[in-house]
Structure 1
Amino acid sequence: MAATDMTMQDHLRDLLNAGEFRLALSRAHAALSDQPGNGDLWYLAAAAAQQLGAAELAMNFSLQAVALLPDNAAAHAQLGALCLLQGDPKAAVRCYRQASVLQSRDAAHHAGLGLALWTLRDLPAAEQALQTARRLNPKEAVPRNLLGVVQDAMGNKDAALATWQALAKSAPHYLPARVNLMSTYMARRDYPRALRSCEHAIRLDPQDDDLLTTRIYLKKKIADWSAHDDFRAWRADRATCGKPADPWSLLALADDPAAARQQARAHADSFATLRHRPQPRPADGRIRLGYVTSDVMDHATLHLLTGVLEHHDPSRFEVHLIALNAPDNAAITRRAMAATRVHQLNGQSDDQILDLLRGLHLDIAVDLKGFTQDARPQLFCTGIAPVQINYLGYPGTLAGSGWDYLIADSVLIPPDWRGCYDEAVIYLPDSYQPTDNRRAAPPLTTSRADHGLPDTAVVLCCFNDPYKLSPREFDIWAALLRDSQNTVLWLLASNPWAEQNLRREAAARGLDRDRLIFAPKVPQQAHLERQQHADLFLDSFNYTAHTTASDALWMGLPVLTLQGRQFAARVSASLLTAAGLPDLIAGSVDDYQAKARDLLRNPDRLRALRGRVLTARDTSPLFDTARYTRKLEAGYATTVARCRAGLPPQDIRP
C-alpha cells in the first residue's frame, strides 16, 4: 500500500515490522523536513536508527520525541533503552520511571526499570520493579529470569531458585532459565540436578560448547567417567575450531599444553576490550600492588598466599587486596586482611569495579583467579593497571591481551613447552607456589580408628577432588591394592555421588568396598592433623595436587607424582623439586607404578621417607616464605621498571 493511502506513521511502522529499517529511516527523515514538530515521526525515526546501529542518531531523534511528547510513555521507554545502550543507566532509570508513571499497567516499562536498576546494582529497587513486571505480565520470560538473577545477587538463593524453577516449568523452552538452574544447583553442589538441567539445556541448544563442556565437568565432579568419552567426542568435533568454552573445566581431561592454550585463547577472546590500559605512574617511592580475587575467605588461595602478604616489604610495596566476594571471618581471612589495604567490592558491576580500581592507580594488578570459578577476567581484558599478572589461581596460560606475565618456574614451563604460554614468564628460582611457614603443624591428637582406618594397614591416600581423578591412575591404584592386601585407599569425600561411583569403579576392578575409605571435609587444621595417619599420597595425573600437595608435604606426608606436560600436570613436581625430593617424581606411568610398588614392598624405606619430608619442611626453599617473597618482589619490580621504560614484557628470572 502506498504512503498516500495511510498516515505516514502507519507506513513507517509497517516498514519497521517488515525489517526495512534503512527505507524507514530515509522516509522518516524526509517526512520530518515537512513536519519537524511531529513527535511520532521522531520516535519512529529513532526506532529505525536504533535497528541500524546508529546509536548517536537514534539518541538525538529520541530526545526530540520526548521533548515533543512529554506525556508519551513509549517515548520515555525508548529513550531509557537507548540510555542503557549508551552506558548511562542513571538516565535510563529516570526515563523508565517516567514511563512507568505515565503507563503504570505496562509490564515492559517496569521490566526496563528493573534492568536499569540492576545495571546500577540497586538490587532492592530492581527486585521491586521486576516483581511488578511479573505481576502485570506473568508470561514474559525475560524479566522473570532477570528477577532470579537479582534475587541471587541479593543473597536470596532460595527465592532465586524458586523463580527459575517456576519459569522453567511455565516456559520449558526458555534456555536462560535452564542455564541459571544448572548454575544454582552447581553452587549448591547438587550435581545430579545440575546435570539434569544441563542435559535439558543441551537439548535446547545442542551446539553450545559451554553447555557441552559443563556436562563433562559435572560428570567428572561425581566421578562418572563417561565424561572422558564425552570429552573425546567433543574435542574431535569442536575443539580444533577454537570455539570458546570454559578451559578450566577441561584441564583434568587431557594433559595437552597446546590444546589448553588454544582453549584459553578462544575463551579470552570472548571478552571485549573496551578501554585502554592505564598509563604507568612515574616512580614515587613504593610500588602499588593489587591482588584481585573472589576468594577472600577460608580458601586454598589465602592459605597459600597469606604468608607472602605478611612478608611483603612495606617500604617498597603498598599492597591492596581487592575482594570481589564478601569476606568471611575465618582466621586466615583476618590475617590476610590485616596485612593489606582491603577493598570489598562484592555485588558491584564491572564498570563500578573498574572505576574504583583505576582510581587506586595501581602499578601492578595480580589476577588470582584466571578462568576459575567466580573469576572476573573481563576486568583484566578491559584493563586495571599498566602491568597485569596471571598468578596462582589458574594453572596455565590465560592466552589473552589482559595478562602480561605469568608466574611460574622452570619445572612448570620447561623450554620444550615454552611456546604454549602466551604471557612473558616470571621464572621464580624454586617453586612458583607460595607457602605460609607461620601456620601451625598440628600435633597428632586422633587415632586411625577415629577416621575409620585400620590400625596396621598401609594407608595410601589421595585428597584431591574427585574431579581430578581418571581411570588411568585409578587402574594403577587398584592394582597396587590387589598386589598388597594390607593396604587401603583413603580418598576425599567430596560428594556422595562421587563416593558411590568410585566404590563401583573399585568393585569393577576386583576390590572389596571396605578397601576404600572416604575422608569427610573438615576444617583446615583438622585436615592437616589427620594426614599424619597416611603413609603415601598417590597423586592424580592430568591435574595434580596443588595446595593439597603443599599441605601433605607440610605434614610430612610423602607425595608420589607423575610429571606430566601441561602446567596443571607438573605442580606437584615443582613442589617436590623445591623440597629436594626429586625421587618422588615419576617420568612415566610405568615408573609411577614401579615407584609405588617399591615403596609398598619396603616399609622401612617408606617410614624413612616421612623423615626426609619433615626435614625438608625446615630446611628446603619450598617453605622459606621470606626468601620466596623477596624473589617474587624482585620479579614485580622488574616488570614495573620495564613498563615505565616503555619496554615490552619479557621473561624474567629474579
Structure 2
Amino acid sequence: MIAEALKYMQSGNLSAAENVLHKIISAEADNVEALQMLAFLKAQSGDHGSASTLLMTAAKLNPADIATLNHLIQSLEAQGDWQAAIGFYEKLISLVPSNLDIVSNLARCAFMAKDFSTSLKAIENAIQLNPNLAHLWSNRGILLKEVSRHDEALKSFDKALVIDPNYLDAAYNKGVTYFELKKYAEAINQYQETIRKLPTHLEATSNLGVCYNKLNQHENAIAYFIKALELNPNYKDAWFNKGVAEQAIKNYGDALHSYAQAIRLDPKYIDANYNNAIVLNILKRHDESIISYKKTIAIDSNNFSAHINIVMPLRALMHHDQALEHIKTALQLSPNEPFLLGNYLHTKMLLCDWEGLDALYSQVIAGMRSGQKTTEPFGLQGICDSEADLAVCAQIFAADHFPAQNPLPAVSRPPSPKIRIGYLCGEFRDQATSILMTGVYESHDQDRFEIYAFDNGWDDGSPLRARITAAFTQMFDITRLTDLQAAQLIQETGIDILVNLNGYFGDGRQGVFAYRPAPVQVNYLGFPGTIGAPYIDYLIADPIVIPSDSQSFYSEKIAYLPHCYQANDFKRIISDSVLTRADFGLPEQGFVYCCFNNNYKITPATFDIWMRILQASPTSVLWLIEDNPTAGNNLQKEAVKRGVDASRILFAKRLPLTEHLARHRLADLFLDTLPYNAHTTASDALWAGLPVLTCKGNSFAGRVAASLLTAINLPEMIASSPAEYEALAIELAHHPEKLQQTRVRLEQHRLTTPLFNTTSFTKDLEAVYEGMMGGASSRNNT
C-alpha cells in the first residue's frame, strides 16, 4: 500500500494518497514510513501541527532516524515552537555531534527562542568544528551583543572581518554594537565602512542618520535619512527618524510631513503618532494634537507619556474634565511619576472639583517636604500660602527641570553708554503680562537704555502687539532656537540685564537663563515667587509683597520698588459701549459681587466665605468668570451644598479687554481670592473704577492686591483676616453710601497715585536696573 500512496503522490492526487496512508496507519500504527509520508503531505498543505504530531510518533518508534528528526524540527520551527525544536536539535546532535550545519542551526533556533545561553554554547561548538568561517564569528558577536558583552562582541566581529574583510553582517553589527555602547563616532565610522562595501545598505545608511541625531548634528542626520529614503521610499523608520531630526531643529512643518509618511506606511506606528501630537501642540494646533494623542492611546492604552502629554492641548482648549481623566490613568500607570500628583491637584482646582482635595493637598505637601518631586510651583501657588513650602517647591523643580549649565564662555564687549535690557517673554501679545508692561516698554528712557525683546510666543496681530514691536530697539524670535542658541544670541546682543517675564508661568524659556547669557538676570512679574535657581540674581518686588522678614524664602536678592511692584499701563482703553446688567443676565436690582479671577484660584475656604456673604445679603448675586463649564457646574453645586440657590452664581464669558473693562461698571464690589490674589484682574477692576476687597495673605501671590490697593491709597479695602474680609463685604452691601465713598476715592486716586503712573513707575524701575548694574560684580543688595 505504500507503493500505492507513493503512486498517487507522484500523480498529484494528494487526497487519495492521504486516504491510503491513513488506512495504513490505522492498520499498522508503528509504520514509520507511512507516518513520515503523511507528515510530509500535512506539512505541504501548511498543517504543521499535524505533521509534527505524526513525526513525534515516528521519532518515538525510531529515535535514531536522522531524517525524521530533521523533518520534525522543520515542522516545529514553522510553527514558531522554538523551544521544542531545541530539544530535538540536541537529540540530533547526540547522533551526529560533528555536523556543523546541525550545530549552527541549533544556535539559530535557540537565538529565535531568546535562549541566548544555549545559542552561544552552540555557536562556540560550531566554531570549534570550523574556526575559519566568518559567519560563525559574526553570529557569535551578535549573541554576545544581545547579552551585553559588548567588548567581546566587538572582538568577535573583528575576527570575522579578518577572515573575510568584506563580510557585511560583521561590519554592520559592529556599528550596532558601538551604537549600543553610545560610542556614536565609532558607530559612524563602522556604518560608513559598511556603506563603502555596499552603498545600497539601507539599515547602515539610516543608522548613520540616527547616530548624527544622537550627536545633535541634525542636518547631517537628515541628509542620511534622505539617502535611505532614496534607497527605499517606504522605509518607515527613516521617515520617522527624519522627523525626529527636523523636530529637533524646529523645522516643524517638515517634521509633520515626515511623521505623516511614517504613519501612512504604518498607521499603528506609535512613536510617529506620539511625536506628531507633540509637534502639533507646539504649533498650537491643539485639536489636531489631541486627535494624534488619542490615536497613540488607541494603539497602546497604557502609554503613559501620551496620557500625560495630552493634558497640555486639552488644557489649552479648557477641556479640563478630559485632562483630569487622562491624569488619573497616568497615576494608575505610574503613581510615583515626578510632579504628577501636583498636576492632578491643579487640574482638580481648574475644575473646582474639591472632593478629596484636603487629603490630596496634604499628600502633595508631605511628599514635597520629604524631598519628593510631587508638584510644580505655578499650580501650587493656587492653594498654598506657605512661603517656606513654595520655596522648597521651586528649588526642587528648578534643580530637576532647569539645572544650571556651564556658563557661556566670556566674550569681550565694547563699552556702551546705554544699559541694554533684554526682556524674555512668551506673551508679547494681547495677554495679561503685556497688558501690564507695554506702557513701561514705551516709557523707557532711550537716552540711557536700549531695550530688546526675546520673543518665545507669537504675533497675534493685535494693536497691543503693534505697540510692543514699536517700543523695542529690536525683537528677536527665539521660538525655533534651542536654549543654548537663544542664550548665545542674547550674549551676542550684549544684554546687560536679562529679565525673565515668565518664570514658571506661560510660554517661558527658563532653560535659557541656566546658561547665564547676561551678567545680571532678573525674575519679574510673570511668576509671583522665587525661581529657586542660583542663576537668577534678583527678584523685583515691593515691601508689601515681600516684607523684609520674608527674604529668606527667596533664592534671589530682592530689588525693591518704592511703591507697588506691579507695572500698569495707563493707556488701556475702556469701551464706551452702553452696557446694561440685562446684557449679562444680571439682576437689575440687588448687589452684584464679582470675581474675575481664574477659577483655579477659588478654594473651598474662600467659597465658604462667599456663600456666607450671599446668605447675609439675600438680594445679592456672585458674578464669576467662566473658565470651563464643568467648573461652573461644580461651583453651583457647591453653592447648593452651602444653602445658596445655584441661580445666584452667574458666569461671564471672556470678552475683548476693552469690553471686559467696561462691564466691570455693572458690578458693585470685586471680591478677591486667597491664597492667590487677583493680580492683573485687580488692576483691571481698579482701572475700571470697581472697588476691590482683598485679604492680605501669607505669600507673595497672596499680598499682591494689598500692594495694589496701598499704591492707589485705598488701605480700608485691605482686610487683615478672613473674618474681617467677610464682615466688610457684608457691610459694604448693606451700606451703599460707604461703598460709594470708596468709589469716589478710587476715581480721585486713579490718576493721582503711583499705581497707574506708568512714567513714574518706569523711572523707579530704571533706578533699580542701574542699582543692579552697580552691584553686578559684588551682587550687593539694592
Counterpart Cα distance in 1 of 2:156 and 2:773: 57
Out of 156, 165, 168, the position equivalent to 2:297 is 168
TM-score of the superposed pair, with normalisation by structure 1: 0.93
Counterpart Cα distance in 1 of 2:533 and 2:159: 47
Query: Residues 188 and 440 (structure 1 numbering): CA distance in 2 closer, same or farther, change over 3 Å?
Result: closer
Is the 1:277–1:386 contact (alpha carbons within 8 Å) kept by the matching residues of 2? no
Deviation at 1:195, TM superposition (A): 1.5
Is the 1:222–1:495 contact (alpha carbons within 8 Å) kept by the matching residues of 2? yes
Query: Residues 285 and 26 (structure 1 numbering): CA distance in 2 closer, same or farther, change over 3 Å?
Result: farther
Is the 2:202–2:232 contact (alpha carbons within 8 Å) kept by the matching residues of 1? yes
Deviation at 1:31, TM superposition (A): 7.0
Out of 263, 266, 290, the position equivalent to 2:393 is 263
Deviation at 1:274, TM superposition (A): 4.1
Is the 2:154–2:174 contact (alpha carbons within 8 Å) kept by the matching residues of 1? yes
Deviation at 1:36, TM superposition (A): 7.2
Give the equivalent residue in structure 2 for 1:215: 344
1:539 and 2:672 aligned:
yes
Counterpart Cα distance in 1 of 2:439 and 2:463: 13
Deviation at 1:181, TM superposition (A): 2.5
Counterpart Cα distance in 2 of 1:275 and 1:41: 40
Out of 230, 242, 261, the position equivalent to 2:360 is 230
Out of 515, 518, 529, the position equivalent to 1:385 is 518
Other structure's SS at 1:178 match:
helix
Give the equivalent residue in structure 1 for 2:496: 363
Letter in 1 for 2:258: A
Q: Deviations for 1:612-634, whole angstroms, at most 9, x for unmatched residues?
A: 11222121111111111011112
Q: Deviations for 1:6-58, whole angstroms, at most 9, x for unmatched residues?
A: 62221121122112234434655677788777665454444334333444544
Query: Residues 156 and 478 (structure 1 numbering): CA distance in 2 closer, same or farther, change over 3 Å?
Result: closer
Is the 1:228–1:253 contact (alpha carbons within 8 Å) kept by the matching residues of 2? no
Query: Residues 519 and 127 (structure 1 numbering): CA distance in 2 closer, same or farther, change over 3 Å?
Result: closer
Other structure's SS at 1:16 match:
helix
Q: Answer 1 or 2: higher relative contact order, Cα 8 Å, separation at least 6.
A: 1
State how 1:60-75 maps to structure 2 within 5 Å.
Answer: 60-75=189-204
Out of 425, 444, 455, the position equivalent to 1:312 is 444
State how 1:17-36 maps to structure 2 within 5 Å.
Answer: 17-25=146-154
Give the equivalent residue in structure 2 for 1:504: 637
1:322 and 2:454 aligned:
yes
Counterpart Cα distance in 2 of 1:498 and 1:177: 25
Out of 371, 375, 386, the position equivalent to 1:245 is 375
Counterpart Cα distance in 2 of 1:351 and 1:198: 32
Give the equivalent residue in structure 1 for 2:319: 190
Give the equivalent residue in structure 2 for 1:491: 624
Other structure's SS at 1:502 match:
helix
Gap runs ≥5 in structure 1: none
* RMSD of aligned alpha carbons: 2.5
Letter in 2 for 1:276: P
Counterpart Cα distance in 2 of 1:215 and 1:288: 41
Larger Rg: 2
Give the equivalent residue in structure 1 for 2:723: 590
Is the 1:244–1:267 contact (alpha carbons within 8 Å) kept by the matching residues of 2? no
Q: Deviations for 1:163-203, whole angstroms, at most 9, x for unmatched residues?
A: 22222112212222222322221111111112222222222
Counterpart Cα distance in 2 of 1:39 and 1:62: 10
Counterpart Cα distance in 1 of 2:539 and 2:662: 33
Counterpart Cα distance in 2 of 1:408 and 1:50: 51
Counterpart Cα distance in 2 of 1:185 and 1:313: 43
Give the equivalent residue in structure 1 for 2:309: 180
TM-score of the superposed pair, with normalisation by structure 2: 0.78
Counterpart Cα distance in 1 of 2:750 and 2:639: 34
Give every structure 1 segment of 4 or more consecutive aligned residues whose post-TM-superposition deviation is greater than 6 Å: 29-39
Is the 1:213–1:246 contact (alpha carbons within 8 Å) kept by the matching residues of 2? yes
Is the 2:280–2:289 contact (alpha carbons within 8 Å) kept by the matching residues of 1? yes
Query: Residues 532 and 174 (structure 1 numbering): CA distance in 2 closer, same or farther, change over 3 Å?
Result: same
Other structure's SS at 1:288 match:
strand
Is the 1:252–1:542 contact (alpha carbons within 8 Å) kept by the matching residues of 2? yes
Q: Identity percentage over the alignment?
A: 33
1:276 and 2:407 aligned:
yes
Give the equivalent residue in structure 2 for 1:394: 527
State how 1:321-340 maps to structure 2 within 5 Å.
Answer: 321-340=453-472
Is the 2:286–2:316 contact (alpha carbons within 8 Å) kept by the matching residues of 1? no
Give the equivalent residue in structure 2 for 1:90: 219
Other structure's SS at 2:751 match:
helix
Gap runs ≥5 in structure 2: 1-120, 129-134
1:571 and 2:700 aligned:
no
Counterpart Cα distance in 2 of 1:447 and 1:193: 35
Query: Residues 247 and 22 (structure 1 numbering): CA distance in 2 closer, same or farther, change over 3 Å?
Result: farther
Query: Residues 66 and 636 (structure 1 numbering): CA distance in 2 closer, same or farther, change over 3 Å?
Result: farther
Out of 473, 485, 491, the position equivalent to 2:606 is 473
Is the 1:39–1:66 contact (alpha carbons within 8 Å) kept by the matching residues of 2? no
Counterpart Cα distance in 1 of 2:189 and 2:541: 52
Counterpart Cα distance in 1 of 2:386 and 2:725: 19
Query: Residues 163 and 516 (structure 1 numbering): CA distance in 2 closer, same or farther, change over 3 Å?
Result: closer
Q: Deviations for 1:195-227, whole angstroms, at most 9, x for unmatched residues?
A: 222222222222224332222222211211124
Q: Deviations for 1:585-608, whole angstroms, at most 9, x for unmatched residues?
A: 222222222332333343211110
Q: Deviations for 1:555-594, whole angstroms, at most 9, x for unmatched residues?
A: 2222111111111111111111222222222222222223
Q: Deviations for 1:120-141, whole angstroms, at most 9, x for unmatched residues?
A: 2223332232222223333331
Is the 2:407–2:517 contact (alpha carbons within 8 Å) kept by the matching residues of 1? no
Query: Residues 202 and 320 (structure 1 numbering): CA distance in 2 closer, same or farther, change over 3 Å?
Result: same
Is the 1:297–1:327 contact (alpha carbons within 8 Å) kept by the matching residues of 2? yes
Out of 4, 14, 26, the position equivalent to 2:143 is 14
Query: Residues 449 and 159 (structure 1 numbering): CA distance in 2 closer, same or farther, change over 3 Å?
Result: closer
Give the equivalent residue in structure 1 for 2:564: 431
Query: Residues 36 and 581 (structure 1 numbering): CA distance in 2 closer, same or farther, change over 3 Å?
Result: farther
Letter in 1 for 2:543: S
Letter in 2 for 1:168: I
Deviation at 1:518, TM superposition (A): 1.7
Give the equivalent residue in structure 2 for 1:640: 773
Counterpart Cα distance in 1 of 2:394 and 2:162: 53
Give the equivalent residue in structure 1 for 2:113: none
**Larger deviation, residues 130-139 vs 254-263:** 130-139
Deviation at 1:305, TM superposition (A): 0.2
Letter in 2 for 1:9: S
Other structure's SS at 1:254 match:
coil
**Larger deviation, residues 410-419 vs 137-146:** 137-146
Out of 392, 416, 426, the position equivalent to 1:294 is 426
Counterpart Cα distance in 2 of 1:91 and 1:31: 30
Counterpart Cα distance in 2 of 1:279 and 1:397: 27
Counterpart Cα distance in 2 of 1:481 and 1:158: 39
Query: Residues 42 and 382 (structure 1 numbering): CA distance in 2 closer, same or farther, change over 3 Å?
Result: farther
Is the 1:210–1:244 contact (alpha carbons within 8 Å) kept by the matching residues of 2? yes
Counterpart Cα distance in 1 of 2:169 and 2:496: 52
Aligned residue pairs: how many? 649
Out of 331, 339, 342, the position equivalent to 1:202 is 331
Other structure's SS at 2:342 match:
helix
Q: Deviations for 1:377-412, whole angstroms, at most 9, x for unmatched residues?
A: 122223432222111111100111342211111111
Give the equivalent residue in structure 1 for 2:591: 458
Out of 599, 615, 640, the position equivalent to 2:748 is 615
Other structure's SS at 1:473 match:
helix
Query: Residues 244 and 509 (structure 1 numbering): CA distance in 2 closer, same or farther, change over 3 Å?
Result: closer
**Larger deviation, residues 427-436 vs 345-354:** 345-354
